[in-house]
């Protein structure tokens, strides 16, 4: 006989109980393994989806502006924009990604080009949303590229000028997985895509020969773009004037931003030429003492005129018109556009500093849509109001002769003082060009040298044409923002704990049954260490068996959870498509984890025997000493009780956050209750006259540790279930009008797919946007707060993918002044919104959950932002807010980070509750074709809460499963223990007990533990969630069913199994021979 043989024999001899231990550990292993596989599945599905969306694409050049289609070379050029699509059934889908593509794009997916001309291919998700099929017509609304910032004087803002609406015929519906789901950004959600023939779309958008995206299957794209990009491709135009020996660099987007101006200046330095920023603007009127001229362009002084400081230089033409001479004071009137569509007129006196010859020079004014190409002034179609009655024949003559040649000139300082807007953003400097002067030498050679230098100092990525490793980024994003393995381990924690506890108790039972055997081994001289080793080895063997059984069960569990996440719990993953994945690593980790957590259970089982005397062990488990242990933990009980009372008092007095204080108080109460149960059981050993309850209590007290464990397990389960259930948020009863709420007092949230170029919060803006006059009364008392919105990844829990570039919202000054929302800041402040404007790199606010779970940051932490000079600094978090999908920065900082974005697409609307629906309907009716979506803030919050609530539902389900498992397991253990007490039952029968009385005794004992556990947990939980009970949407019915059902099941199982425990030939146990 060897120890190993003995172990093997023992395992065979106690196979049934051993199998119970193994199955309990298998359950824990299964939950661990399954949770890891859920993580595998989410990552794997995101990866599969991301790769399927990219086809063979590895890299992509994504321009912030259009460039030549030819820059793509042999790669695939795309024209990408965002639009809205309307079906003939009037269903409109906003936020549609519109791609103009051609054969090379389809080849990257191994697909034939399904579209031609006016045909469109839509993905299945879009077709489903629109309710269209192949052959149906749809209306596409897309923005037309404008010159300059959308809120500048020269931006076309009318719907007709800013939008293009075309009719398309659906030629194909593409599967979402694959080319249909094509996306270059990291989002787990299925995009809504429409694919159109590139050249046809170029024609519709007046973008012939242009693209703004190149996709490639290779890795040489960046180098190719760097090599072949022209200044045009970088968003710059170069006008040469050999006669004046000048070059003028302008932006295709009207204004040159500071980095561009600096780059041009650097290039000029390298080339040994001089560079000077220039500017132009339109004067509504320039008036002298007697005469005036209207709609005159003002520009930078021509070369050779040193213009500094205040004042104006007139061309000879203007001086003649105005009859002005140096020293005269003129009055400049100019239009300042406002967001609401009103053009405010400002005036400023300017002293004539000089008169310069009138020389045709249109170089300093870039092409202005609606103006530059007009043959006559009265043919202008500008976005701003023009009073043609003020245009004189002489003005027309000038236009025909000199076109956009400025009539007057101001210094750059004056230009900025007059026209620059805002400390940051595209209009901050109002630089419309850089004039490079070549004073001497070969002009052509110098120009080439300058161009070469400019290309060197201005790589494509600095000019808004970066080439991105999209496949690598997609793979990184597919790692997911949330560790689902960890999440489901946490959600299943109670299930694991219940299983391990059950295993430990079963192991203890197994060893108790073998007390006499252990005593015998010790009695025959085997060292205690060896005996313990044998028992631990048996435990280890059972843990290994549990791990082996648990791994396939874990795969089943993981598959089940993934299935649930795509069906019942789809809300938790925002309907992200998922498939089951399993990696060997997770299977191994799950198996090893299950084995490792089984060892303490085995150790705990053997622990009790170490304290027993050999003689007692020889008498078997029933003979083990049963002494009245003194009650322990009185201090802990008192401390927990005091802590509980203190927390409740602090919460009630609002000295601490009531939610947190009461939860801590409830938890302390739970601990105090458990310690109290231990005390009660210890005191139950005080002698007294036996009664059935006393005897049941005695039996429970006889194994105090086991009984407290049972009560504790059930109490914790009840506590968790009720507190979790009370955390379910129901925004149908949420008071969004409370400015401190997550809705900030706003009733509606609107987002637009296309820029809304007028403020629909003002009568003028509404008029410009085409609202019906009869809707005007609806807007009385309505306030609109427009936010600039950056591209980037949604950071809410609705996006499972890891965010590389979080979406930002620029908080308007008006909102900062208004305040609202609850903002937790690192340092207490009465003006939390002011933190966004502190002299910090980029202070930002974020939704508390998004910051923690999606960005894995914290208050005071830093969040990197691709392309930004510094990371965002989280200076405040908003719990449960509307802003879950983006981070908030000040409008100024937003314009610094995204100077090219000037039209808001995100709007918070404060409307009287009774009019909110009508206002929303009016907005949808009027701006629906711009892809404006209007949602009650309550619904938006509910959408975010749906994710959280679904997780809570997962937790409740898994916790309920754990409770069920724990209860059933406990019943099995308790009754298995009862079977071990057959001699005791035999004696009771012998002294006159009936079998019914034995069953009653067992029921009293076991049900007492079940009820005590659930009652304690419920009371503590109700105390913990007391502050929430008024507002939380607690499914009391469901909780009651879960707890009551579990209790009923426990009682039924106890009763069902108590009967056989008291049947059979119990009296054989009384035989003396």
Partner 1 sequence: MPKDTSTLTLTGVSKTYPGAEIPVLRGVELRAGAGETVAVVGPSGAGKSTLLHLIGALDTPSAGSIRLGDIDVTALTGAALAVYRATRVGFVFQDHHLLPQLSARENVLLPTLAAPGGDPARADALLTRVGVAHRADAFPAQLSGGERQRVAIARALINGAGLLLCDEPTGNLDRDTGTGIIDLFLDLAAEGVTVIMVTHNLTHAARFTRCLELRDGAPVPLEVMA
Task: Single out the segment in contact with partner 1 by CB under 8 A; choices: 97-105, 317-325, 634-642, 986-994.
Answer: 986-994
Site string for partner 1, 1044-1073 (x = CB under 8 A): -----------------------x--xxxx
Which residues are bridge partners to 419 per DSSP?
none
Instruction: Choose which of 244, 685, 721, 857 interacts with partner 1 (CB under 8 A).
Output: 685
> Is residue 992 close enough to count as binding partner 1 by CB under 8 A?
yes
Task: Single out the segment in contact with partner 1 by CB under 8 A; choices: 208-216, 246-254, 305-313, 680-688.
Answer: 680-688
d(CA 970, CA 958): 18
Instruction: Choose which of 692, 781, 791, 824 interacts with partner 1 (CB under 8 A).
Output: 692
> Is residue 991 close enough to count as binding partner 1 by CB under 8 A?
yes
CB proximity list for 688: less than 8 A, separation 6 or greater: 694
> Is residue 687 close enough to count as binding partner 1 by CB under 8 A?
yes
Smaller CB separation from partner 1, 888 or 1004: 1004
Cα dihedral 209, 215, 221, 227, rounded to 10, equals 10
Provide, rounded to whole angstroms, the least separation between the CB of residue 628 and partner 1.
7
Provide, rounded to whole angstroms, the least separation between the CB of residue 524 and partner 1.
21
Provide, rounded to whole angstroms, the least separation between the CB of residue 971 and partner 1.
21
Q: What share of the chain is helix, strand, coil (3-state, %, to 5)?
A: 50, 15, 35
CB proximity list for 585: less than 8 A, separation 6 or greater: none
Provide, rounded to whole angstroms, the least separation between the CB of residue 980 and partner 1.
13
Smaller CB separation from partner 1, 681 or 882: 681
Q: How many CA atoms lie within 13 A of 747 on its CB side?
A: 15
> Is residue 630 close enough to count as binding partner 1 by CB under 8 A?
no
Task: Single out the segment in contact with partner 1 by CB under 8 A; choices: 435-443, 687-695, 1043-1051, 1053-1061.
Answer: 687-695
Q: Which helix (H) or strand (E) holds 598?
A: helix 584-611
Backbone angles phi, psi at 617, to 5 degrees: -60, -40
d(CA 988, CA 982): 10
> Is residue 229 close enough to count as binding partner 1 by CB under 8 A?
no
Which residue reads 């139950």 in tokens?
684
Backbone angles phi, psi at 71, to 5 degrees: -60, -20
DSSP strand pairing (824-825 vs 872-878): antiparallel
Task: Single out the segment in contact with partner 1 by CB under 8 A; choices: 185-193, 783-791, 987-995, 1056-1064.
Answer: 987-995
Smaller CB separation from partner 1, 196 or 988: 988
CB atoms within 10 A of CB 209: 12
Smaller CB separation from partner 1, 113 or 622: 622
Site string for partner 1, 699-738 (x = CB under 8 A): x-xx------------------------------------
Angle between helices 704-726 and 493-513 (to 10 degrees): 170
With beta carbons less than 8 A apart as the criterion, state whether 300 and 412 touch.
yes
Provide, rounded to whole angstroms, the least separation between the CB of residue 612 and partner 1.
11
- Count residues near partner 1 (CB under 8 A): 37
Smaller CB separation from partner 1, 243 or 627: 627
Provide, rounded to whole angstroms, the least separation between the CB of residue 975 and partner 1.
18
CB proximity list for 47: less than 8 A, separation 6 or greater: 474, 475, 478
Provide, rounded to whole angstroms, the least separation between the CB of residue 1041 and partner 1.
36
Provide, rounded to whole angstroms, the least separation between the CB of residue 633 and partner 1.
20
DSSP of 505-516? HHHHHHHHHTHH
- How far, in Å, are 149, 246, 453, 463, 786 from residue 458 at the CA level? 22, 20, 8, 6, 34
Smaller CB separation from partner 1, 992 or 1037: 992
Provide, rounded to whole angstroms, the least separation between the CB of residue 990 and partner 1.
5
Which residues from 62-91 bind partner 1, rule CB under 8 A? Answer: none
Task: Give the 3-state secondary structure of residue 170.
Answer: strand
Site string for partner 1, 608-627 (x = CB under 8 A): --------x-----xxxxxx
Provide, rounded to whole angstroms, the least separation between the CB of residue 565 and partner 1.
49
d(CA 1006, CA 366): 88
Task: Single out the segment in contact with partner 1 by CB under 8 A; choices: 227-235, 697-705, 725-733, 917-925.
Answer: 697-705
> Is residue 814 close enough to count as binding partner 1 by CB under 8 A?
no
Instruction: Choose which of 242, 272, 628, 869 interacts with partner 1 (CB under 8 A).
Output: 628
Smaller CB separation from partner 1, 255 or 988: 988
DSSP of 620-645? -GGGS----PPP--HHHHHHHHHHHH
Task: Single out the segment in contact with partner 1 by CB under 8 A; choices: 123-131, 485-493, 989-997, 1020-1028.
Answer: 989-997
With beta carbons less than 8 A apart as the criterion, state whether 884 and 945 touch.
no
| 420 alpha carbon, distance to own chain's centre | 36
Smaller CB separation from partner 1, 868 or 1067: 1067
Instruction: Choose which of 403, 416, 698, 915 interacts with partner 1 (CB under 8 A).
Output: 698
Task: Single out the segment in contact with partner 1 by CB under 8 A; choices: 16-24, 80-88, 226-234, 992-1000.
Answer: 992-1000
Smaller CB separation from partner 1, 8 or 523: 523
With beta carbons less than 8 A apart as the criterion, state whether 33 and 590 touch.
yes
Smaller CB separation from partner 1, 7 or 1001: 1001
DSSP of 933-972? EEEEHHHHHHHHHHHHHHHHHHHHHHHHHHHHHHHHHHHH
Strand ranges, E, within 812-896 = 824-825, 843-847, 862-863, 872-878, 887-890
Provide, rounded to whole angstroms, the least separation between the CB of residue 512 and partner 1.
13
- How far, in Å, are 618, 825, 826, 944 from residue 858 at the CA level? 60, 11, 10, 19
With beta carbons less than 8 A apart as the criterion, state whether 257 and 899 touch.
yes
Smaller CB separation from partner 1, 915 or 983: 983
Please give the structure tokens belonging to residue 93. 């889908």
Smaller CB separation from partner 1, 692 or 1056: 692
| 310 alpha carbon, distance to own chain's centre | 50
Instruction: Choose which of 989, 1012, 1018, 1019 interacts with partner 1 (CB under 8 A).
Output: 989
d(CA 742, CA 735): 9
Backbone angles phi, psi at 293, to 5 degrees: -135, 140
Smaller CB separation from partner 1, 306 or 1073: 1073
Instruction: Choose which of 691, 829, 831, 1031 interacts with partner 1 (CB under 8 A).
Output: 691
Site string for partner 1, 997-1016 (x = CB under 8 A): x-------------------
Please give the structure tokens belonging to residue 275. 């560079």
Site string for partner 1, 956-985 (x = CB under 8 A): ---------------------------xx-
> Is residue 993 close enough to count as binding partner 1 by CB under 8 A?
yes
CB proximity list for 973: less than 8 A, separation 6 or greater: 502, 505, 506, 509, 706
Please give the structure tokens belonging to residue 277. 């920023």
> Is residue 329 close enough to count as binding partner 1 by CB under 8 A?
no
Smaller CB separation from partner 1, 272 or 688: 688
Q: How many CA atoms lie within 13 A of 607 on its CB side?
A: 10
Instruction: Choose which of 524, 689, 780, 817 interacts with partner 1 (CB under 8 A).
Output: 689
Backbone angles phi, psi at 576, to 5 degrees: -70, 130
CB proximity list for 906: less than 8 A, separation 6 or greater: 749, 750, 751, 752, 786, 787, 788, 789, 809, 886
> Is residue 987 close enough to count as binding partner 1 by CB under 8 A?
yes
Binding site for partner 1 (CB under 8 A): 616, 622-628, 685, 687-692, 695, 698-699, 701-702, 983-984, 986-994, 997, 1067, 1070-1073
């Amino acid at each position: 006989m060897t120890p190993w043989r003995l172990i093997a024999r023992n395992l065979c001899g106690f196979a049934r109980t051993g199998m119970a231990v193994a199955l309990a550990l298998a359950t824990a292993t299964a939950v661990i393994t399954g949770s890891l596989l859920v993580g595998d599945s989410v990552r794997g599905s995101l990866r599969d989806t991301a790769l399927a969306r990219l086809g063979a694409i590895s890299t992509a050049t994504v321009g912030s502006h259009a460039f030549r289609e030819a820059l793509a070379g042999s790669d695939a050029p795309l024209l990408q924009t965002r639009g809205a699509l309307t079906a003939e059934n009037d269903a409109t889908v906003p936020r549609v990604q519109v791609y103009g593509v051609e054969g090379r794009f389809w080849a990257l997916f191994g697909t034939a080009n399904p579209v031609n001309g006016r045909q469109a291919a839509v993905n299945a998700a879009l077709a489903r949303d629109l309710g269209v099929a192949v052959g149906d017509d749809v209306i596409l609304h897309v923005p037309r590229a404008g010159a300059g910032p959308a809120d500048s004087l020269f931006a076309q803002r009318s719907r007709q000028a800013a939008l293009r609406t075309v009719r398309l015929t659906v030629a194909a519906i593409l599967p979402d997985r694959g080319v249909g789901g094509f996306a270059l950004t990291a989002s787990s959600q299925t995009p809504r895509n429409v694919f159109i023939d590139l050249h046809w779309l170029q024609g519709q958008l007046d973008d012939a020969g242009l693209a703004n995206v190149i996709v490639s299957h290779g890795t040489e794209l960046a180098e190719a773009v760097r090599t072949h990009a022209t200044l045009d491709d970088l968003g710059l135009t170069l006008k040469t004037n050999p006669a004046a020996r000048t070059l003028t660099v302008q932006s295709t987007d009207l204004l040159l931003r500071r980095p561009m101006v600096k780059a041009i200046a650097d290039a000029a330095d390298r080339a040994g030429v001089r560079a000077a920023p220039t500017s132009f603007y339109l004067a509504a009127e320039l008036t002298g003492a007697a005469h005036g001229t209207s709609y005159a362009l003002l520009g930078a002084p021509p070369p050779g005129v040193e213009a500094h400081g205040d004042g104006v230089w007139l061309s000879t033409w203007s001086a003649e018109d105005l009859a002005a001479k140096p020293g005269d004071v003129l009055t400049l009137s100019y239009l300042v556009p406002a967001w609401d569509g009103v053009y405010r007129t400002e005036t400023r006196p300017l002293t004539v500093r000089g008169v310069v010859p009138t020389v045709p020079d249109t170089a300093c004014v870039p092409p202005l849509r609606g103006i530059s190409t007009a043959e006559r002034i009265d043919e202008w179609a500008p976005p701003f109001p023009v009073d043609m009655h003020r245009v004189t024949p002489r003005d027309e003559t000038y236009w025909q002769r000199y076109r956009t040649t400025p009539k007057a000139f101001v210094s750059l300082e004056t230009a900025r003082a007059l026209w620059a807007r805002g400390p940051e953003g595209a209009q901050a400097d109002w630089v419309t060009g850089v004039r490079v002067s070549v004073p001497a030498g070969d002009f052509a050679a110098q120009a080439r040298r300058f161009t070469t230098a400019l290309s060197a100092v201005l790589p494509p990525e600095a000019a808004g044409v970066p080439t991105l490793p999209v496949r690598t980024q997609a793979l990184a994003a597919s790692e997911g923002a949330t560790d689902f393995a960890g999440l489901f381990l946490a959600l299943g924690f109670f299930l694991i704990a219940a299983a391990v506890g059950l295993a430990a108790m079963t192991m203890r039972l197994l060893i108790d049954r073998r007390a006499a055997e252990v005593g015998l081994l010790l009695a025959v001289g085997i060292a205690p260490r060896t005996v313990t080793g044998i028992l631990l080895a048996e435990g280890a063997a059972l843990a290994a068996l549990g791990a082996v059984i648990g791994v396939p069960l874990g795969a089943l569990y993981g598959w089940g959870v993934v299935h649930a996440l795509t069906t019942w719990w789809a809300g938790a993953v925002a309907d992200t498509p998922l498939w089951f994945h399993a990696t060997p690593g997770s299977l191994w980790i799950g198996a090893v984890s299950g084995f490792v957590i089984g060892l303490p259970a085995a150790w705990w089982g053997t622990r009790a025997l170490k304290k027993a005397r050999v003689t007692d062990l020889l008498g078997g488990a029933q003979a083990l000493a049963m002494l009245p242990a003194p009650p322990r933990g009185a201090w802990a009980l008192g401390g927990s009780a005091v802590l509980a009372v203190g927390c409740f008092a602090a919460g009630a007095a609002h000295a601490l956050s009531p939610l947190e204080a009461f939860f801590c108080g409830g938890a302390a109460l739970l601990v105090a209750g458990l310690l109290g149960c231990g005390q009660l059981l210890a005191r139950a050993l005080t002698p007294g006259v036996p009664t059935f309850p006393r005897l049941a209590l005695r039996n429970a007290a006889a194994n105090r540790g086991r009984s407290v464990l049972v009560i504790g397990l059930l109490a914790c389960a009840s506590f968790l279930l009720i507190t979790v259930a009370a955390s379910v948020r129901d925004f149908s009863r949420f008071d969004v009008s409370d400015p401190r709420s997550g809705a900030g007092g706003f009733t509606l949230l609107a987002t637009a797919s296309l820029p809304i170029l007028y403020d629909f919060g003002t009568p003028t803006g509404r008029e410009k946007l085409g609202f019906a006059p009869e809707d005007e009364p609806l807007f009385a008392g309505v306030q609109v707060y427009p936010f600039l919105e950056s591209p980037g990844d949604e950071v809410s829990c609705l996006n499972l993918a890891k965010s590389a570039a979080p979406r930002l919202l620029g908080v308007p000054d008006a909102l900062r002044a208004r305040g609202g929302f609850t903002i937790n800041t690192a340092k207490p402040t009465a003006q939390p919104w002011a933190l966004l404007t502190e002299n910090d790199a980029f202070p930002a606010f974020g939704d508390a959950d998004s910051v923690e779970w999606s960005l894995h940051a914290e208050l005071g932490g830093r969040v990197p932002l691709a392309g930004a000079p510094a990371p965002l600094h989280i200076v405040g978090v908003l719990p449960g807010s509307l802003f879950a999908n983006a981070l908030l920065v000040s409008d100024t900082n937003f314009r610094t980070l995204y100077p090219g974005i000037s039209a808001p697409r995100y709007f918070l609307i404060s409307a009287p509750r009774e009019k909110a629906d009508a206002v929303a309907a009016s907005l949808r009716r009027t701006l629906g074709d711009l892809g404006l979506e209007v949602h009650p803030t309550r619904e938006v919050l509910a959408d975010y809460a749906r994710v959280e609530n679904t997780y809570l539902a997962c937790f409740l389900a898994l916790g309920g499963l754990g409770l069920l498992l724990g209860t059933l397991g406990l019943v099995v253990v308790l009754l298995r223990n009862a079977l071990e007490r057959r001699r005791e039952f035999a004696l009771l029968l012998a002294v006159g007990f009936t079998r019914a009385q034995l069953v009653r005794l067992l029921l009293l004992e076991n049900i007492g533990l079940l009820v005590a556990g659930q009652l304690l947990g419920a009371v503590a939980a109700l105390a913990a969630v007391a502050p929430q009970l008024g507002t939380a949407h607690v499914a009391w019915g469901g909780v009651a069913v879960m707890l009551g059902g579990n209790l009923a099941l426990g009682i039924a199982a106890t009763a069902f199994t108590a009967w056989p425990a008291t049947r059979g030939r119990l009296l054989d146990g009384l035989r003396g021979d």
